[in-house]
Amino acid sequence: MAQLASGCCHFCPWALRMARPCLCPRGQRNESVERTERTMKTKLFSIGGLMALALVFAVTPQTFVAVNETEQVIITQFGEYIRTIQQPGLTLKVPLLQTANRFERRILASDAPKTEYLTQDKKRLVADPVTRWRIADPLQFYKTVRDESAARARLDDLVFSELRREVASHTFAAVIGAKRETIVDNVAKAVREKAREFGIEVVDVRIKRADLPGEVQQSVFARMQAEREREAKRYRSEGQEEAAKLMAETDKQRTIVLAQAKQDSEKLRGEGDATATRIYAEAYGKDPEFYGFVRSLQAYEQFLGKRSTLVLAADSELFRYLPSPHRATAAPKPAPEPSRAAQLTPKP
C-alpha cells in the first residue's frame, strides 16, 4: 500500500476495488484544482456575458440616431461627410466609425458686446447690435465654422465691420434719429450676403441701444440743454413779435370800426336832428301857440325837477303858462280859440 500510495492515485487498486475516491494527498489536490477550474470557467462565462451585454448597450446608441423637429444632423466618418438628415425621425449609422453632428434648425441670436463707433461728425457712439440668424446649409456650416460659438464670433466680426462703416458715413443725429432704420437695414443686407459663405442665413440685425460714452454724456446733455433753451427763447421771441403784430392789427381794426361807427352815428344823429327840426318847424308853422306851450313845458321839466333856485321877473315869459298873483289881478284877456292840436292833447 505504501508503494501504491506513492504512485498515481488514479490507478490505485484499492481505490478502484473500493470504488471510493482516493484518499491520498495527491488525489485531494487534483479534486481541488478541478473545482477551481470549474469556478473560473463559470466566472469567465459570466464576465463574457456581462461584457457582451455592455457592448450591446454601448453600441446600440451609436447605431441609432434620433432626430427631432428642431435639429438637423450631418453624419461624418473620420471627419468626412457622409449624408445630411433634416427630417425628424430615427435613422441608422455605423457605430464607432460614424459620428452624428447635430445643428439647430431654430433661429439663433448673437448679442455682440458694446463697442464704440465714430460718426461722420467725429462723435463717439456706443452701440450693442443683436443678430438673428439660422443655419440654412448645415454642410457648408460644418465645413467653414463647425459649431455655433465660432459662427457667433464670425457674425460679430461682420456686424462690427459693416456697422462701423455705416456709422462713419452718417452724423450722430442721423444715427440716433431718422436714419437709424436705414443704417441697420444696410448692415443686415451686407452681413446677409457675406454670411452665406458660412451656410448662415441672417434674419435680422438690430441695435438694442445707442448711447454716448459715459465720460461725454454730461457735456453733451449740457450742450443739448443750451441748444433747447436757445430754441425756446427764439420761439418765445417770435411769439411775442407775432402777438405784437396781432395786437397792432387788432387796434387798427378797432380804430377803423369805431371811427366808422362814430361817423355813422353822427350821420344818423344829424339826420335825426334834421328830421326833428323839420317836424318842429312843421308843428310851429301849423300852431305856434301850441308849440310855444309844449316848449315851455319841456323847459319846466328841465329846471323845476332839479331843486333849482331861479330869480326872475314876475312878468317873465317863462311864467307865461303858470298862474301868478300879478297875472290874476290883471284884467283877463279873452282866451284864444284852441287850435286843433291843443284840442287833441289830453289834459293831465
Specify the CATH number for the domain of residue 152.
3.30.479.30
**More confidently predicted of 223 and 334:** 223
Say if residue 3's pLDDT is above 80.
Answer: no
Q: Please indicate, yes or no, if residue 186 is contained in any of the structural domains.
A: yes
Say if residue 297's pLDDT is above 70.
Answer: yes
Query: What are 273's three cell numbers?
Result: 336832428
Lowest mean pLDDT among 78-82, 89-93, 207-211, 278-282: 278-282
Provide the 10 A C-beta neighbour count for residue 149: 9
Q: State which H helix or E strand residue 200 sits in.
A: strand 200-211
Quick one: pLDDT band at residue 258, thresholds 50, 70, 90? Answer: very high
DSSP state of 70: T
pLDDT of residue 333: 46
Average pLDDT over every residue of 151-171: 93
Co-location of 114 and 207 in the same domain: yes
Distance (Å, rounded) from C-alpha 65 to C-alpha 72?
11
Average pLDDT over every residue of 98-111: 92
**More confidently predicted of 160 and 65:** 160
Q: Is 230 helix (H, G, I), strand (E, B) or coil?
A: helix
DSSP-assigned beta bridge partners for residue 41: none
Q: Please indicate, yes or no, if residue 245 is contained in any of the structural domains.
A: no
DSSP-assigned beta bridge partners for residue 92: 64
Report the b/e string of 226-262 with b at 16+ CB within 10 A: eeeeeeeeeeeeeeeeeeeeeeeeeeeeeeeeeeeee
Quick one: pLDDT band at residue 322, thresholds 50, 70, 90? Answer: low
Q: Mean of the per-residue pLDDT values for the chain?
A: 79
Q: Please indicate, yes or no, if residue 116 is contained in any of the structural domains.
A: yes
Q: Please indicate, yes or no, if residue 263 is contained in any of the structural domains.
A: no
Domain boundary among 164, 181, 211: 211
Say if residue 324's pLDDT is above 80.
Answer: no
- Global pTM value: 0.51
Distance (Å, rounded) from C-alpha 165 to C-alpha 159?
10
13-53 confidence digits (pLDDT tens): 444 444 455 555 555 556 676 777 777 777 777 777 677 66
Which residues form the domain of 124? Answer: 110-211
Q: Please indicate, yes or no, if residue 233 is contained in any of the structural domains.
A: no
Question: Based on the structure, what is the number of domains in the chain?
Answer: 2
Pairing of strands 108-111, 115-118: unpaired
DSSP state of 199: T
pLDDT of residue 15: 46
Q: Please indicate, yes or no, if residue 229 is contained in any of the structural domains.
A: no
pLDDT of residue 143: 92
Q: Is 93 helix (H, G, I), strand (E, B) or coil?
A: coil
CA angle 179, 185, 190 (to 5 degrees): 125
Q: Please indicate, yes or no, if residue 203 is contained in any of the structural domains.
A: yes
52-95 confidence digits (pLDDT tens): 667 665 666 677 888 899 999 999 998 899 999 988 888 888 88
Say if residue 253's pLDDT is above 70.
Answer: yes
Lowest mean pLDDT among 50-59, 166-175, 218-227, 235-244: 50-59
pLDDT of residue 282: 77
pLDDT of residue 89: 87
Quick one: pLDDT band at residue 293, thresholds 50, 70, 90? Answer: confident
Quick one: pLDDT band at residue 325, thresholds 50, 70, 90? Answer: low
Q: Please indicate, yes or no, if residue 293 is contained in any of the structural domains.
A: yes
Domain boundary among 211, 234, 254: 211
